[in-house]
C-alpha cells in the first residue's frame, strides 16, 4: 500500500533547523515525524540533536512510500563523534541532513527508489546500509546487485 506524507511545518511551526543539547529536550509538540524518534536521530556521541525539518520530511515521506519500517543506524553526528567514527570532515551527518538506513528487510533498489522520490540527492551503498543526504547530487559505494 502506498501512502503519501508531507508536512510544510505549519502544524508545528518548525521550518528551520534547530539544535538541542540532548534529544530528551526536544519538545513533543514540535516532533512531527511519527515513524522516527528524536533518540534515533540524535548523535550516538553526546546525544545532541540537530533537527533539519526538510531532511526529516523527506525521510518520513520515503518511509511512508515504502510502507515498512526503516532502521536508522546513523543520523546527526556531533563533530567529536563524527571524527571518532572516521566520518569525513565535511560530512552531511554533521549538517543534520544525512541518514544511514539499514538494508535489512529491504530490497535495496526499492529503498533507493523511495529515497530518490523523496528528494534526497546523495546516495552511498554499503554492504549493510544505504546512506542518503540532502547535499549535492552524487553516488558512491557498492552498487552491484
pLDDT tens-place string over residues 105-141 = 999 999 999 999 999 999 999 999 999 999 999 999 9
CB neighbour class for 7 (10 Å; exposed up to 12, middle 13-18, buried from 19):
middle
Lowest-confidence region among 43-52, 90-99, 106-115, 136-145: 136-145
Which is nearest to 109 in space by CA: 89, 123, 91, 94? Answer: 123
Any idea of the CA torsion for 74, 76, 80, 83, to the nearest 10 degrees? Answer: 50
Lowest-confidence region among 1-5, 39-43, 98-102: 1-5
Instruction: Tell me the pLDDT band of 12, cut-offs 50, 70 and 90.
Output: low
According to the model, what pLDDT value does residue 11 have? Answer: 55
- Does the pLDDT at position 34 exceed 90? yes
- Does the pLDDT at position 1 exceed 70? no
According to the model, what pLDDT value does residue 142 have? Answer: 79
Q: What kind and span of H or E run contains 106?
A: none
The per-residue pLDDT for range 54-82, each reduced to its tens digit, is: 999 999 999 999 999 999 999 999 999 99
**pTM passes above 0.85:** yes
Work out the average pLDDT over 27-39.
96
- Does the pLDDT at position 99 exceed 90? yes
According to the model, what pLDDT value does residue 29 have? Answer: 94
Amino acid at each position: 500500500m502506498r501512502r503519501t506524507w508531507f508536512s510544510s511545518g505549519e502544524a508545528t511551526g518548525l521550518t528551520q533547523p534547530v539544535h538541542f543539547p540532548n534529544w530528551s529536550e526536544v519538545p513533543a509538540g514540535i516532533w512531527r515525524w511519527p515513524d522516527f524518534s528524536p533518540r534515533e536521530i540524535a548523535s550516538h556521541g553526546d546525544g545532541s540533536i540537530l533537527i533539519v525539518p526538510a531532511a526529516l520530511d523527506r525521510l518520513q515521506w520515503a518511509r511512508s512510500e515504502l510502507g515498512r519500517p526503516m532502521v536508522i543506524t546513523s543520523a546527526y553526528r556531533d563533530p567529536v563523534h563524527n571524527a571518532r567514527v572516521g566520518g569525513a570532515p565535511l560530512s552531511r551527518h554533521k549538517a543534520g541532513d544525512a541518514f544511514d538506513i539499514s538494508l535489512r528487510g529491504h530490497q535495496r533498489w526499492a529503498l533507493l527508489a523511495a529515497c530518490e522520490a523523496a528528494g534526497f540527492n546523495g546516495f552511498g551503498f554499503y554492504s549493510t546500509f544505504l546512506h542518503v543526504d540532502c547535499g549535492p547530487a552524487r553516488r558512491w559505494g557498492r552498487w552491484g546487485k
